[in-house]
Chain A
């Protein structure tokens, strides 16, 4: 059975008197250990997919599975624990707590999980062993995103979910972050799902899901994904 599964998922937003269908019968699946990239133009519904996969939003209909869990059936409380225990989220704008140091930001997430990885160790792994006690404001954007990734990894989640992780970063830094994500996926077998509009990212993915008009228009599987270091955009 696939690790992630979307079966005919629909999401309709009620905007006043108008119904907007953001996701309209989305069906795809991702295998365990894969680096998956969900790609599509703005308004295609990828953020909605991300929201629903990340447990931040519920589908109007359809089934979403992660491992053996049916995410689409969860109530708010279960979703909270789903986010807490199963998902590691990496934001476009890092969303670090300004008032906590790097290591504290990592521990902030780790402390609510039953089986976290040591914060300092994780930061070491993302290459920030020397900046443990710096506040976010004292770090560069890339460093902040590393902290954010470390924060996600430290939770030891089932799935690392990244929303435009390089969107706020310059090209070089963005590449480094992609490398980090790819390495994390391939070295530790940690499933990673990246949501982006950047088609260049498809090269490094094991599986690419193209989203268009609320549907998975095309699903590609790269048997030999390119290394993130080589990708250019």
Chain B
């Protein structure tokens, strides 16, 4: 009977395979997701543990502020529970790796042990040396065989990046005492358990704050007397626990506590050791110093003696010169005397000459006077002679004129008498003739009368006429002479007077002539005297000239002597200057030497003081939680755990609903059968067991299937995604099943199904057999709320009315579908949203917030000119479009969590030099509302993610600490008051105003960071050029960051595929179930419609419209849920240094919605065939 019953159960399964499979699948997905995700977190930790155990990764690390010694290692090795101790050295440096310069860590490793080790798989290194911890896995190349060879971390993200050589540029401290080798050849690539995080290997105070590469070198690459920097410790028995678990931590803490107990002793021992070592060195140095000091002082004394010698010689020379000068002065006086005499002689001569010249002038004047007088006298004499002759001529003339007149009168009287005789002769009146004229006229008239009478003219008449006419002609002249002789007697007397006077004058002249002759004689005498004087002067002059010649010669001699002295003096002066110089040099050298000696002495004293003051070192006992890679890997695995608690929730709810509806339908279908069983006497429990077995088998099969399949798939997918960020070798597939997680998932899945099954059975099983035999009245049609909205309802066609009524008739199915579809859409929105969020990092950070392309970090001690040089170069590059200078330093923000643990958040403190210029490189704004944030002088703007991690808001005070080598806060905190929270996705920044910085740190910010907006294709060239410039530490191109986020996106794509796959499964299961139930329940209705002549399309529409409507409702709900869930996933999954975008873009909603509808249509397309298969004959059958 029992077997019959189970046969019936078996048949019920095979008879409704679709329904059975639906339950199997949905339970598989639910359990699989839950179990798979749960196993992922555990699996990740186990992978890490496998790697750590396989490579003997340290459980504890001892770091001392004063280094570590072999003794210390030996001490620690003796502590109970410590199975292996390996000391090691490491140093952070700036190095040139290939063509780029970045911060690197140089770490020693046991090269011999490594070379002898054997690799087993990708995560296990076997070595005979138990003390070989932190074993490296060689990925390519070979182990270093020489001290200048090294192996480097394998770069999974850049497998094509080849670096053959590494040159150390500078270190955090002086490298001379530490590193023996500065240039390394890269001979191989390794994976190290100490550096599993590919993005942040470790933090440093150098460069941009993160270590970009780790070089593993042989011990010989370090100076052998430099102390070890750390001690790696393996704890016995810890490897049987999974790293990161409480059990592991407990095991390690036990030993750590034991070590901590020893720490004070270790510290004291280390202190003493350091002191002793240092004292020995110092004593040696002091002895050296003393010797050097003596030597230096002796040298100084020698120099001094030499100088004194030179001075004596100089002084001697100076005395001689002085003597010469005296002689010269004497001769000078003599010459000057001569010159004086010569000058007075010359003056005398000149006076005499003057005198003579005066005499001569006087003489000349006398001579001239004499000559004048002579000529005057001569003129007087000739004048007298002239007057005499004139007077005598006058006398003669007068006597002559007297004679003429007398003669004339006599003639006239003769003529008149003759004329009268004629006239009278002729008979005229002789009385008319009285004078010549009348005589002429009478004679003329007489002659004419005669002629007229023709009588001959007597001769006496003609002769008389001619004499008369001649006398008439003489008349004028005789008149004159008559006048002149008028006063003849007076005149004659005057002339005789004149002649007497002239004679007196002649006597006067003769006397003058005598006087002149006497004066002439006097002049001649004075002339002779003058000539004599001149001759004398000429003689004197000649004498003076010879004197002058002698003097001039003396002068030349003197000048010569003077020149000689001057030369000697110059020589002496030069000698003096030389001496002074020498003295000065000596003095300064002496000062220097003494100063140096004093310095050296001070240094020695300081060193002594340092030694005296050497305190106990701080010794930190660090466990794996302080290893960046291990800690962040464990943290990420725990993030998966927390996502695992929420994520599968949907699948379980949907599984429950699917089971509920399916089983309800099944129980309803079996109504008659149940009645029959009851009637046959089967107990309710027995009948119920059929359904419980059905549900149990389905869910168990589903759970097994899901857990086994997804237990492989999900860990694999997520591991693959994380493999981009972590260098942890994956465990080989198939992964072992994690029993606790698998059982939890299976129990949940099966439990949910059974509860749902029970719920479905209960109401039906309570009915009496008789009632069960009756067909269950079909669920009555009911008016729905929408019908009361008249205008809407009346507009709907019948099919729509049926659709709406149906939707609200079967609420359970409705919710199952809505929740299932919502889950489907939610998964898609989450997937697309996560992609958007990561994409937004690129789009927002590097397009909207960061406008610069290059950031250049300079060395701590960069000078203004070096900075200017770099700025100048950047400005000269093609495509340059702006530059900003800032200060930059890495600080720690500290938050004390509620559980007492502290969280350190590293922030890069940036102080812009010029906010205006800075704002064109970096946009500071709030994420919501995009309100621009200004820094001003007092501003302190913290990036959003860090504000959230530290729990600080605007107006809160943030404490900043400097960090020590171990990354712990040290010293006193600096305080700033936050004035703004800025949108930021990558990195952690605190932007401070200059004033705020100064107030917090008490000094000016030091500019050592450059942002430049340079859009260029040739980044390599710029990077190379920059690296060649002085003081350039790191050059970062934003394109590199963008590339790494693109890489991250590709890993999300894989997750995306899985999400879409499961979204589809969810949609298929739910929709198949719904459609299946809808169709099977309404076969009659559908057949009737077909009989009524509904076309295939009309029937499809009639049935599917409601499914589509539910899907749309579900999808819309899914969009909302998706948003919420995506935010949860993003916030949970994101790392400390990155903030994902918080916005899902509308295309993502669109795709999710579209894909959901697509899945729905696919199911409907499939179900359509089932619909076609509905036989119209069904409509004729009776109701069962």
Q: Is A117 an interface residue (CB 8 A)?
A: no
**What is the CB-to-nearest-CB distance from B596 to chain A, in angstroms, rounded to a whole number?**
108
CB-CB < 8 A to B802: which residues of A? 97, 99-100
A89 engages B1091 (CB within 8 Å): yes
Known: A56-B1091, A83-B1091, A83-B1093. A98 touches B781 (CB 8 A): yes
**A93 CB contacts on chain B under 8 angstroms:** 1084, 1182-1183
Band of interface residues on A: 35 or more
Q: Nearest-CB distance from A53 to chain B (Å)?
A: 12
B469 within 8 Å of A (CB atoms): no
* Complex CA distance for A129 and B68, rounded to whole angstroms: 105
B873 at interface by CB-CB < 8 Å: no
Q: Which of B809, B1091, B1092, B1180 contacts A99 (CB 8 A)?
A: B809
Contact A97 B1085 (CB under 8 A): yes
The answer to whether residues A107 and B798 also contact, given A95-B1084, A98-B780, A112-B1092 and a CB cut-off of 8 A, is yes
* Contact status B1176-A137, CB under 8 Å: no
Q: A51-B1177, A80-B1096, A107-B798 are in contact. Are A92 and B805 (CB under 8 A)?
A: no
User: In the bound complex, do residue B777 and residue A137 qualify as a contact, i.e. CB atoms below 8 Å apart?
Assistant: yes
Nearest A residue to B777 by beta-carbon distance?
A: A137
| B258 interfacial contact with A, CB 8 Å | no
A92 x B801 contact (CB < 8 A) = no
What residues of chain B lie closer than 8 Å to A97, measured between beta carbons? Answer: 802, 1085, 1088-1089
Hey, which chain A residues are within 8 Å of B1098, CB to CB?
A: 112
B1169 in the interface (beta carbon within 8 A): no
Say how far B1082's CB is from chain A's closest CB, in angstroms: 9
Quote the shortest CB–CB distance from B778 to chain A (angstroms).
5
In chain B, positions 777-792 with a C-beta closer than 8 Å to chain A are 777-782
Is B1095 at the interface (CB under 8 A from chain A)?
yes
Q: Are B1085 and A95 in contact (CB under 8 A)?
A: yes
Interface of B is mostly: helix
Q: Kindly list chain B residues whose C-beta atoms are within 8 Å of the C-beta of A151.
A: 1092
Given known A-B contacts A97-B1085, A107-B798, A137 and B778 have beta carbons under 8 A apart: yes
With A83-B1091, A97-B1085, A135-B781 known as contacts, the answer to whether A111 contacts B1177 (CB < 8 A) is no
Assess the B1088–A137 pair: CB atoms within 8 A: no
Interface bits A35-55 vs B (CB < 8 Å: 1, else 0) = 000000000000100110010
A163 sits at the interface (CB 8 A): yes
Residue of B nearest to A82 (CB): B1093
Q: From residue B1089, how far is it (CB to closest CB) to chain A in Å?
A: 8
Cβ of A149 < 8 Å from any Cβ of B? no
Within 8 A of B (CB), among A70-89: 77, 80-85, 87, 89
Residues of A within 8 A of B1179 (CB): 91, 95
Bound CA–CA A99/B1092 (angstroms): 17
Nearest B residue to A151 via CB reads B1092
Known: A51-B1177, A95-B1084, A137-B780. Is A83-B798 also a contact (CB below 8 A)?
no
Give CA–CA (A47, B1177) in the complex, Å. 9
Q: Are A80 and B1183 touching (Cβ within 8 A)?
A: no
Please name the residue on chain A nearest to B1092 by beta carbon: A109
Is A138 a contact partner of B780 (Cβ separation < 8 A)?
yes
Asked if A136 is an interface residue, CB under 8 A from chain B, the answer is yes
Indicate whether A219 reaches chain B with its CB closer than 8 angstroms.
no
Which one of A87, A98, A168 has the highest number of Cβ atoms from chain B below 10 Å of its Cβ? A98
Q: Does B797 contact A (CB under 8 A)?
A: yes
Point out the residue from B797, B809, B1096 that lies within 8 Å of A111, measured CB to CB: B797
Chain B contact residues (Cβ within 8 angstroms of A): what range?
20 to 34
B798 touches A135 (CB 8 A): no
Partner of B778, one of A85, A98, A108: A98
CA A112 – CA B1098 in complex, angstroms?
A: 9
Can you list, as one digit per residue, whether each of A150-172 has a CB less than 8 Å from chain B (1) or not (0)? 01000100000001000010000
Chain B contacts of A98 at CB under 8 A? 778-781, 1085
Assess whether B1093 is in contact with A99, with CB atoms less than 8 Å apart.
no
- Establish whether residues A163 and B1180, one from each chain, have CB atoms under 8 Å apart when the complex forms: yes
Rounded to whole Å, the gap between the CB of A111 and the closest CB of chain B is 6
Query: Please, how many angstroms separate the alpha-carbon atoms of A81 and B1177 in the complex?
Result: 18
CB–CB B1092/A89 < 8 A? yes
Contact with B along A173-189 (1 / 0, CB 8 A): 00000000000000000
The digit string for B800-830, where 1 denotes a CB below 8 A from any CB of A, is 0110011001000000000000000000000
Cβ of A101 < 8 Å from any Cβ of B? yes
Q: In the assembly, what is the distance between CA of A85 and CA of B1183, in Å?
A: 27
B64 to chain A: closest CB distance in Å? 83
Residues of B near A82 (CB, < 8 A) are 1093
Task: Compute how far the CA of A108 lies from the CA of B1089 in the bound complex, rounded to whole angstroms.
Answer: 9
**A104-B797 CB under 8 A given contacts A47-B1180, A109-B1092, A135-B781:** no
Expressed in whole angstroms, the Cα–Cα distance for A136 and B781 within the complex equals 8
CB-CB nearest in chain B for A86: B1093
B-side contacts of A99, CB under 8 Å: 781, 801-802, 805-806, 809
The answer on a CB contact under 8 Å between B1085 and A100 is no
The residues of B that contact A111 with a CB separation of less than 8 Å are: 797-798
Tell me, yes or no, whether B5 is within 8 Å of chain A by CB. no
Q: Do residues B781 and A112 form an inter-chain contact, with CB atoms below 8 A? A: no
Which chain B residue has the least Cβ–Cβ distance from A95? B1088
When distances are taken between beta carbons in the complex, the residues of chain A under 8 Å from B781 are: 98-101, 135-137
- A80 CA to B1087 CA in the complex, in Å? 12
| Chain A residues whose C-beta falls within 8 Å of the C-beta of B1096 in the assembled complex | 80
CA distance A81 to B782 in the complex (A): 31
Query: Does B1128 make an interface contact (CB < 8 A)?
Result: no
Q: Residue of A at shortest CB range from B803? A: A99
- Is residue B1094 contacting chain A, with contact meaning CB distance below 8 A? yes
Q: Pick the most buried of A54, A56, A81, A111: most chain B CB atoms within 10 A of its CB.
A: A56
Query: Is A104 touching B798 in the complex (CB atoms < 8 A)?
Result: yes
Digit string of B1077-1108 for contact with A (CB within 8 Å is 1, else 0)? 00000001101111111111010000000000
A114 CB to closest chain B CB (Å) equals: 12
Evaluate whether A87 and B780 lie within 8 angstroms (CB atoms) in the complex, with A92-B1180, A93-B1183, A100-B798 already known: no
Q: In the complex, what's the smallest C-beta–C-beta distance from A129 to chain B, in angstroms?
A: 20
The minimal Cβ–Cβ distance linking A91 to chain B, given in whole angstroms, is: 6
Q: A-facing mask of B1057-1088, CB < 8 A → 1, else 0?
A: 00000000000000000000000000011011
Interchain CA distance A27-B426 in the complex, whole Å: 243
Q: Which chain A residue shows the least CB distance to B1183?
A: A93
Contact A100 B801 (CB under 8 A): yes
CA distance A99 to B797 in the complex (A): 13
Q: Is the CB of B1177 within 8 A of A85?
A: no
Given A56-B1176, A135-B780, A135-B782 in contact, is the A104-B801 Cβ separation under 8 Å?
yes
Apart from A80-B1095, A91-B1179, what are 5 other A-B pairs with CB-CB below 8 Å?
A95-B1084, A98-B780, A100-B798, A109-B1092, A155-B1093
**30 A-B interface contacts by CB (under 8 A):** A56-B1177, A57-B1176, A80-B1093, A80-B1095, A80-B1096, A81-B1095, A84-B1095, A85-B1093, A92-B1180, A93-B1084, A93-B1182, A93-B1183, A95-B1085, A95-B1087, A95-B1088, A97-B1088, A98-B780, A98-B1085, A99-B781, A99-B801, A99-B802, A99-B806, A100-B802, A107-B798, A108-B798, A108-B1092, A109-B1093, A111-B798, A112-B1094, A138-B780
* Cβ-closest 8 pairs across A and B: A84-B1093, A135-B781, A137-B780, A83-B1093, A95-B1088, A56-B1176, A99-B805, A99-B781
